[in-house]
């Protein structure tokens, strides 16, 4: 069932976006970084109650989802369609402001779905902030590739210095509503 779902998801992504560069978050140790709830707040807001057995089973099933399998299927299908799928570091993608670059846990009040930059007050759904940061990181890789002819950032590399250098470059990226094209060769 999960394999079929992953095939369907990968196929939809590739059919909707043929011949493109696809950035995928490197989700190493995702299960260790996510919490599975055993209790929830009571409806009146005072105290906690156990999560239902049905909800716990659903949490367990989703926690067993094969992200690596989905990445593999997307990469495989992308190559067949003339696209390229690359992994990009996931560090701080939903805690870094795409507009000013400020990174803080406080940008995600109560670890909720709302992102509010504590520096520039940029506000957006946290998943969209993460997607924008992931997009900028993917475009940085594409820019380097277009300039040099090879993929210069390899997020699968475990070297701490290389990762620190990548994160430093990512911190310099900014999301802008100005979508005008500026060529480096013209000096604009």
Q: What is the pTM of this model?
A: 0.68
Question: What does the alpha-carbon distance between residue 97 and residue 49 come to, in Å, rounded to a whole number?
Answer: 35
- 132 pLDDT more than 90: yes
- 127 pLDDT more than 80: yes
- Short-list 12, 13, 29, CA closest to 21: 13
Question: What does the alpha-carbon distance between residue 23 and residue 83 come to, in Å, rounded to a whole number?
Answer: 11
* High-pLDDT (> 90) share of the chain, %: 28
Pull the structure tokens for residue 22. 């696809």
* Residue 124 binned pLDDT confidence (cut-offs 50, 70, 90): very high
Confidence at residue 61, expressed as pLDDT on a 0 to 100 scale? 61
- 65 pLDDT more than 90: no
Residue with tokens 């992504």: 13
Question: What does the alpha-carbon distance between residue 160 and residue 103 come to, in Å, rounded to a whole number?
Answer: 20
Residue 1 to residues 4, 12, 55: CA-CA distances in angstroms? 5, 17, 19
Dump pLDDT digits (tens) for 142-188. Answer: 887 788 877 654 544 456 777 777 778 887 788 876 655 444 444 44
Residues sharing a CB contact under 8 Å with residue 88, sequence separation 6 or more, in sequence order: 23, 24, 25, 26, 134, 137, 138, 141, 153, 155
């Amino acid at each position: 069932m999960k394999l079929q779902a992953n095939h369907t998801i990968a196929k939809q992504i590739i059919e909707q976006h043929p011949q493109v560069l696809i950035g995928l978050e490197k989700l190493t140790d995702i299960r260790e970084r996510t919490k599975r709830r055993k209790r929830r707040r009571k409806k009146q807001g005072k105290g906690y109650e156990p999560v239902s057995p049905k909800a716990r089973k659903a949490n367990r099933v989703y926690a067993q989802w094969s992200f690596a399998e989905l990445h593999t299927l997307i990469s495989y299908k992308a190559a067949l369609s003339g696209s390229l799928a690359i992994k990009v570091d996931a560090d701080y993608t939903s805690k870094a402001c795409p507009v000013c670059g400020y990174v803080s846990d406080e940008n995600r009040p109560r670890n909720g779905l709302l992102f509010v930059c504590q520096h520039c007050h940029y506000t957006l759904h946290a998943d969209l902030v993460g997607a924008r940061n992931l997009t900028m990181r993917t475009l940085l890789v594409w820019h380097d590739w277009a300039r040099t002819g090879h993929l210069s950032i390899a997020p699968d590399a475990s070297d701490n210095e290389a990762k620190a250098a990548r994160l430093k470059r990512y911190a310099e990226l900014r999301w802008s509503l100005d979508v005008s094209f500026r060529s480096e060769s013209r000096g604009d």
